[in-house]
């Protein structure tokens, strides 16, 4: 299961509408449509001086604590708003789920810093027992960790299902974890909490997921859409999730 330790303007929107400038088994494809991909994520060099060595050092500290399974100490490295929403047990569960699939970490191959306007990203190339993959650690401009993207081992159907079920049980930190790293500096768990409360205020309490439909993108745009029909007390609500080719959510909007 993929996971991450990961702006909504209060303008009356019932939930989250995001566009980036920048388990369930295999389900039948009900319909196929050509999707217009969102603009590519732009990781623009910040005009501020970036302390690359400092970011690498903090990323290395996080990776060491995770591999040592010291989840209490790892939690102290997170941005306060994120740490409030995320328990040490949750971090441990996600790490354990990952290691079950990949095998234990053998070595850290490299750290690479990608500066951008709203956040700085450290890509940690990691050799596991069974594969080599990347962690993506996202820092805000204050140098605080606002997201840790674990290697993706879930399907987009599973991710969409986890996203909806997580907000339904008020696990907003987990739900936020599937957003693209460039969104994480803007959207913290309390934003999702406010959005979900607005949805239920309008539609009544969430009851269950009715169906999940995958609409694959073409080979040209490599963008997939997942439509989740969710049953609320007052009726059905559709959730739309747009995924990039790395199975990260780059767009969400909620159908009326």
Task: Kindly report which listed range (5-9, 184-188, 195-199) carries the lowest average pLDDT score.
Answer: 5-9
Long-range contacts of residues 67-70, Cβ cutoff 8 Å, at least 24 apart: 67/104, 67/105, 69/95
Q: Which two tokens stand for residue 251?
A: 């767009």
Please tell me whether the overall predicted TM-score, pTM, comes out greater than 0.85 for this model: no
Segment 142-196, tens digit of pLDDT? 889 998 888 877 889 999 999 999 999 999 888 888 888 777 777 888 888 989 9
pLDDT tens digits, 15-25? 333 333 333 33
Give the span between the Cα atoms of 129 and 127, in whole angstroms: 7
DSSP assigned state of 179: B
Domain ranges of the chain: 18-254
Coil vs helix vs strand at 164: helix
Confidence check: pLDDT of 67 > 90: yes
* pLDDT of amino acid 20: 35
Q: Which residue has the higher pLDDT, 169 or 254?
A: 169
Helix 189-203 to helix 156-168 angle (10° resolution) is: 80
Number of residues that make up the chain: 256
Extract the tokens encoding 88.
């040490």
Rounded Cα distance, 104 and 90, in Å:
18
Q: What is the pLDDT of residue 24?
A: 32
59-84: average pLDDT: 93
In this predicted model, which residue has the larger pLDDT, 68 or 147?
68
The CATH number that domain 18-254 falls under is 3.10.450.590
- Across the range 3-10, mean pLDDT stands at 40
User: Mean of the per-residue pLDDT values for the chain?
Assistant: 79
Q: Which of these, 177, 22, 191, lies nearest to 114 by C-alpha position?
A: 22
Q: What is the average pLDDT across 70-90?
A: 91
Kindly state the average pLDDT of the residues 208-213.
95
Q: Per residue in 37-52, pLDDT tens?
A: 444 444 444 445 778 9
């Amino acid at each position: 299961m993929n996971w991450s330790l990961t702006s909504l303007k209060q303008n009356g929107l019932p939930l989250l509408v995001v566009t980036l400038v920048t388990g369930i088994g295999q389900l039948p494809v009900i319909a196929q449509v050509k999707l217009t991909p969102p603009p590519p994520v732009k990781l623009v060099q910040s005009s501020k001086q970036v302390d690359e060595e400092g970011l690498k050092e903090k990323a290395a500290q996080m990776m060491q604590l995770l591999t040592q399974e010291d989840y209490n100490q790892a939690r102290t490295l997170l941005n306060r708003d994120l740490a409030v929403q995320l328990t040490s047990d949750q971090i441990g569960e996600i790490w354990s789920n990952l290691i079950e699939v990949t095998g234990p970490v053998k070595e850290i191959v490299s750290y690479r810093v990608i500066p951008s306007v709203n956040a700085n990203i450290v890509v940690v190339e990691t050799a596991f027992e069974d594969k080599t993959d990347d962690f993506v650690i996202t820092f805000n401009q204050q140098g605080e960790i606002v997201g840790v993207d674990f290697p993706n081992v879930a399907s987009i159907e599973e991710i969409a299902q986890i996203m909806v079920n997580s907000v339904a049980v008020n696990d907003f930190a987990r739900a936020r974890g599937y957003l693209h790293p460039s969104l994480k500096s803007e959207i913290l768990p309390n934003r999702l909490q406010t959005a979900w409360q607005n949805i239920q205020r309008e539609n009544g309490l969430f009851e269950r997921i009715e169906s999940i439909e995958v609409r694959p993108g073409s080979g040209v745009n490599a963008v997939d859409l997942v439509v989740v029909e969710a049953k609320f007390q007052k009726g059905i609500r559709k959730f739309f999730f747009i995924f990039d080719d790395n199975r990260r959510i780059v767009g969400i909007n909620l159908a009326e």
